[in-house]
Structure 1
Amino acid sequence: MTQTGMPARRAAHQMLQQITTEGRLLSELLGSGVLDQLAPEDRATAQRLVTETLRGLDRADRLLKPFLQKNPPIFVRNALRLGAIELVGGGAAHGVVNAYVEIVGRNKRTQSLKGLVNAVLRKVDPAAWEQLPVPVTPPWLRQPLVAAWGRKAMNGIEKAHFAGAPLDLTAKADAKAVAAAVDGEVLPTGSVRVADAGQVSKLPGFVEGNWWVQDAAAALPVKLLGDVQGQRVLDLCAAPGGKTLQLAAAGAAITAVDLSPTRMARVEENLKRTGLKAETIVCDARAFKADPYDAVLLDAPCSATGTIRRHPDLPHAKDGAEFGALIAQQAILIDHAVTLVKPGGRLVFCTCSLLPDEGEVQVEEALERHPELTVDRAALARPGIDPDWITEEGGLRLRPDYWAEAGGMDGFYMAVLSKPA
């Protein structure tokens, strides 16, 4: 952080405002260049501040509540939240308090509340932080997740969300060699986990293309296909490309399709870095046509509720209003993907969602629409997969509270559907 810390703090406050009042996602804001004018150290600090605040938002509000007779305007409330997070993280009280008093004072609509900010932040007791409960997910999402998995499981999920996520890598070839190089460990499913990674591009093997970043849960759908050497495989909705890289490394003749030119450019960059080959096509997956493939992987657009431990902005930026349209789109994509699977071929459907409507229910309804399809339960017999993760209809349900002591995993659903020969 620069000497005063103000550029980073102002940027963090601006981003928190846009997330909580405009429904903007952090990735969207970063992609728009909101931090481009800052020094590298301030960019990192601003991103860390807003991420830590979002992750602990509910706890920060509980910490501040005794000192507030009523909720102040959201502009002020966000300044208090950021200040509280800095204070409990060991920030120097004088500098932190003065910084957020200045931020509130610069806004004509809130400058009269400078005294409130000063008084409240000076009363914050960092020692009280650890006595507060794990932050609770906003009700719009917590309620359906409790209904799906129960309160005990939801408590574990929220604990995993609050803890954040370690860095997982997928090795192009030798996972043990990658783990040794980056001081990581090989997980039961074959991914490499790094506890304190630092800057990803500085890790050994990045430049050489020996691995790519991919959560352990996200790496499993490709593994369910088994040996794909020499097979024609289609990756629909392919970006950001981890599964495309997996398939290419496994020897498949892979075609990757995605609607976004920007996201597909990232896929192509990673293919180049890793020295892997794939045909990349920018196209709406629902309109893509080609001769049928041996296997189709559909990682359908979804709520992304399984990735909250990595993206804590999501439950505060969204309210679930768009999820119905996503669920309808998933069904359309499944129906189209079935037409791209040759007789005797397989379709892997997956979503990074914790909502059954985007997983178990989608597969149950797909089987009703396509009675010729069968669920390949045998495909789930892979190293590291706990039989308790297998669902009634034959899919695989992963949750952030699984592997809790080892750092958890993203929430994911996947199933393998086979077409008759």
Structure 2
Amino acid sequence: MAKIQGLAARTAALRMLDAVLRRGETLDLAEGQFAKGLTPSDRGLARAIAGETLRWLVDLDALIDSATKDVLPDDAKPRMVLRMMLAQVFRLATPPHAVIATGLELLSGGPRRLAHGVFSTLVKRGAALPPVPTLPAAVASRWGERAGPIAAALAEPPPLDLALKNWKETQRWVAELGGVSLAPGHVRLARGTAVERLAGFQQGEWWVQDFAASLPARLLGEGNGRRVLDLCAAPGGKMLQLAAAGWQVTALDKSVKRLDRLVENLDRTGLAAEVVAADALAWEPTRQFEAILLDAPCTATGTCRRNPDVLHRVHARQIAEMAELQERLLERAARWLAPGGTLVYAVCSLEPEEGERHPKPEGLLPAPIRAEELPAGLLPDSEGGLRTDPGMLPDAGGLDGFFVARWRAPPA
């Protein structure tokens, strides 16, 4: 069994999918647990199989149900293996014989004939997935009229975005890396690029950061030596932006493990920040800050292009829990602003409860985002907030879903 080429990757993918769909774990966490020890190529294959299965899950199930007499339970192992087998054929262009050889081994001692029969029927029938993934019904209902464009953006994984340490060198890096730029300080490359091998990585000239994720820090402008608090800062992309823009940064996060990665990024880029390991709900600063960036913990549904697990494991309960936590963090952050200081709130969520529906922090004044502060193709809403979603900027390759709002403390 262990000698079958590619079986280890499929076994890991099956375990990752079980962790996501049955236990509600994140795909990243499941990959770290079950793909550990695999070769880089096998680990990449396991992630690709699991990711494409989750991205197209509703449509894969529809195909399976069209070829079975009795409906297989959602959590039945044959259904999960068939999902993987079909995802490999239709999304990863894996030859059917290789899919059968590895897929049926996952059902050792189980209903191999059933899986083989369903798979062969669908392949011989010339079955195919639709051009656009079908969202789970609950997700489509939550996202309303935005659901269609977002689903279209999920058809392919996203490109690779880089944030530059020196905005003045944007055109240099566009030319050297062979990418495009959507704004100063940004370069976009085709997906599948090996990041560590790109020019400028070892020298710390840039870091990986989705274009939408770079927008909140941009709205604080140049620091000119002023103090900024980056709350929930790890893994540190926004902290690096702020440090590169001349802010004196205090970066706080309660995860020591994630802060280790943040410190690695500081070391690689040569940028500086004060790093604090603490829970923002318990920590108290010794001074006030001219600016605060709260990139709050959230359901991360806005990252569904790269993390399709959020389509299946995020439900109303998680959304409500996150919204409550965000309000508590906003209340605390508002107290730490110096007179006239600016607070930017951001979440990589598509859920209004985590964004537009949050009440204004007590004691702060609106500081509406202006159209001229945003890259071409993006506009603030009527209240001066910014909403992005994966269906926006389709001709440029899209972007993650974010909500961003800005307020100011009254002057002294």
Q: TM-score interval w.r.t. the shorter chain?
A: over 0.9
What corresponds to 1:96 in structure 2? 99
Q: Helix, strand or coil: the match of 1:71?
A: coil
Matches within 5 A, 1:198-209: 198-209=193-204
**Separation in structure 2 between the aligned mates of residue 328 and residue 339 of structure 1, nearest angstrom:** 18
Matches within 5 A, 1:139-158: 139-146=137-144, 150=145, 153-158=146-151
**Separation in structure 2 between the aligned mates of residue 142 and residue 392 of structure 1, nearest angstrom:** 24
For 1:382, which of 343, 349, 373 is the aligned residue? 373
For 1:75, which of 74, 77, 87 is the aligned residue? 77
Q: Helix, strand or coil: the match of 2:207?
A: strand
Please identify, of 125-134 and 223-232, the stretch whose mean Cα deviation from structure 2 is larger. 125-134
Please identify, of 238-247 and 134-143, the stretch whose mean Cα deviation from structure 2 is larger. 134-143
CA drift at 1:86 = 1.5
CA drift at 1:3 = 6.1
Is the 8 Å Cα contact of residues 380 and 396 (structure 1) preserved in structure 2? no
Does residue 1:331 correspond to 2:331, yes or no?
no
| 1:319-361 Cα deviation digits (max 9, x unpaired) | 3322211101111111100111000110001111111111111
What corresponds to 2:360 in structure 1? 366
Q: From the superposition, tell whether residues 383 and 321 of structure 1 become closer, same or farther in structure 2 (CA, over 3 Å).
A: closer
* Matched AA of 1:366: K
Is the 8 Å Cα contact of residues 136 and 311 (structure 2) preserved in structure 1? yes
* Matched AA of 2:89: L
Is the 8 Å Cα contact of residues 369 and 384 (structure 2) preserved in structure 1? no
* Matched AA of 1:37: G
* Matched AA of 1:308: C
CA drift at 1:377 = 2.1
For 2:112, which of 114, 121, 125 is the aligned residue? 114
Q: From the superposition, tell whether residues 352 and 212 of structure 1 become closer, same or farther in structure 2 (CA, over 3 Å).
A: same
* Matched AA of 2:360: A
For 1:170, which of 163, 166, 187 is the aligned residue? 163
CA drift at 1:189 = 5.9
Is the 8 Å Cα contact of residues 348 and 414 (structure 1) preserved in structure 2? yes
CA drift at 1:6 = 0.9
**Separation in structure 2 between the aligned mates of residue 378 and residue 81 of structure 1, nearest angstrom:** 44
Matches within 5 A, 1:277-292: 277-290=272-285, 291-292=287-288
Does residue 1:247 correspond to 2:238, yes or no?
no
- Runs of 4+ in structure 1 over 3 Å off: 126-131
What corresponds to 2:153 in structure 1? 160
CA drift at 1:383 = 4.6
| 1:118-157 Cα deviation digits (max 9, x unpaired) | 11111223885556252222223221111xxx1xx31110
**Separation in structure 2 between the aligned mates of residue 64 and residue 378 of structure 1, nearest angstrom:** 47
Q: From the superposition, tell whether residues 376 and 126 of structure 1 become closer, same or farther in structure 2 (CA, over 3 Å).
A: farther
**Separation in structure 1 between the aligned mates of residue 135 and residue 197 of structure 2, nearest angstrom:** 34
* Matched AA of 2:155: F
Please identify, of 234-243 and 174-183, the stretch whose mean Cα deviation from structure 2 is larger. 174-183
What corresponds to 1:15 in structure 2? 16
* Matched AA of 2:397: G
CA drift at 1:381 = 2.6
Matches within 5 A, 1:204-215: 204-215=199-210
Q: Helix, strand or coil: the match of 1:90?
A: coil
Q: Helix, strand or coil: the match of 1:17?
A: helix
Matches within 5 A, 1:232-381: 232-290=227-285, 291-362=287-358, 365-367=359-361, 370=362, 372-377=363-368, 381=372
Is the 8 Å Cα contact of residues 373 and 417 (structure 1) preserved in structure 2? yes
Provide the aligned C-alpha RMSD in A.
2.0
What corresponds to 2:55 in structure 1? 55
Q: From the superposition, tell whether residues 171 and 127 of structure 1 become closer, same or farther in structure 2 (CA, over 3 Å).
A: farther
* Matched AA of 1:266: R
Is the 8 Å Cα contact of residues 365 and 407 (structure 2) preserved in structure 1? yes
* Matched AA of 2:99: V
* Matched AA of 1:143: S
**Separation in structure 2 between the aligned mates of residue 48 and residue 131 of structure 1, nearest angstrom:** 17
Is the 8 Å Cα contact of residues 369 and 380 (structure 2) preserved in structure 1? no
Query: Percent of pairs identical after alignment?
Result: 37
CA drift at 1:385 = 4.8
**Separation in structure 2 between the aligned mates of residue 276 and residue 242 of structure 1, nearest angstrom:** 12
* Matched AA of 1:301: P
Is the 8 Å Cα contact of residues 235 and 244 (structure 1) preserved in structure 2? yes
What corresponds to 2:225 in structure 1? 230
Alignment size in residue pairs: 404
**Separation in structure 2 between the aligned mates of residue 57 and residue 8 of structure 1, nearest angstrom:** 19
* Matched AA of 1:181: E
**Separation in structure 2 between the aligned mates of residue 95 and residue 378 of structure 1, nearest angstrom:** 53
**Separation in structure 2 between the aligned mates of residue 56 and residue 265 of structure 1, nearest angstrom:** 34
CA drift at 1:197 = 4.1
TM-score by length of 2: 0.93
What corresponds to 2:215 in structure 1? 220
Ranges in structure 1 where 5+ consecutive residues have no aligned partner: none
